[in-house]
Amino acid sequence: SLSRTPDSSRVALKLQTRLGVTLLVGVGLLGAWWWVEQEKQQRRRRQRVEQLRTVALGQGTFSLLDHTGHRRTKQDFLGRWVLLYFGFTHCPDICPDELDKLSTVVSALDRDPALPRLQPLFITVDPERDDVAALASYVRDFHPRLVGLTGTPEEVRHAGRDFRVYASAGPKDEDGDYMVDHSVLLYLVSPDGLFLDYYNRTKSPEQIADSIRNHIRNHVPL
């Protein structure tokens, strides 16, 4: 018959082989591309972590006394998402406002059972006056999990330096009272102990909570 000559069947076979080979090569290429993409993403994540490391905020270790008189170090808070504020108990309005905001944020996130529980921290910039007892009565007015931290002036300075906190005590008046001018920020620290984000006075509790939810969702453990 005319339909199947040895030539045409050889052509048909060649076509099948070519198709098969092309398919294999295609799958191989796809696989290689996917692998390269994974590697790229890994590299990007590692770079970002390195960048955060070089920014070197919150890198150090601090050693402070909490408001129950127990010594706590940075290591004690690893494994938790930390939201941290530096202030002082003699502060007229900003610190109570920011701590109220902090409490609102933590309570809002507490309401979502799928999220890990945040650890709110308050570190004093006025260790001369804010001893353990002063902190204990101060933190009572805010979120139940809020931990107050104090120490010697050097220990407190060390913790503040770690976050580039600015703090400057003003002149004492006739009652010995004084103000401490200080930077006003909430700091977000990841469970790996890395500083991830900061929130200034213009940020609302909703904005901060949303930002933290995002960070938690996108978190890649080291």
Partner 1 sequence: MAAPNSAQRKACWDARDQLWQCLDDNNDKIQSCQKFQGDFEANCPAQWVKYFTKRRDFLKYKDKMQREGFTPAEGPQ
Binding residues: 91, 95, 182
Q: For residue 91, give both structure tokens.
A: 């502060």
Interface with partner 1, residue 177, by CB under 8 A? yes
**Listed ranges 22-30, 63-71, 89-97, 161-169: which one lies at the site for partner 1 (CB under 8 A):** 89-97
Interface with partner 1, residue 181, by CB under 8 A? no
Among 71, 49, 47, smallest CA distance to 59 is for 49
Binding residues for Cu cation: 91, 95, 182
- Residue 177, amino acid: D
Interface with partner 1, residue 134, by CB under 8 A? yes
CB of 78 to partner 1, least distance (A): 31
Interface with partner 1, residue 93, by CB under 8 A? yes
* Calpha distance 23→53 (Å, rounded): 45
Nearer to partner 1, 112 or 181 (CB): 181
Nearer to partner 1, 92 or 221 (CB): 92
How many residues lie near partner 1 (CB under 8 A)?
18
**Listed ranges 18-26, 59-67, 106-114, 173-181: which one lies at the site for partner 1 (CB under 8 A):** 173-181
Nearer to partner 1, 112 or 141 (CB): 141
Nearer to partner 1, 87 or 160 (CB): 87
Interface with partner 1, residue 168, by CB under 8 A? no
Q: Which residues bind partner 1 (CB under 8 A)?
A: 89-90, 92-93, 96, 129-130, 134, 137-138, 141, 173-179
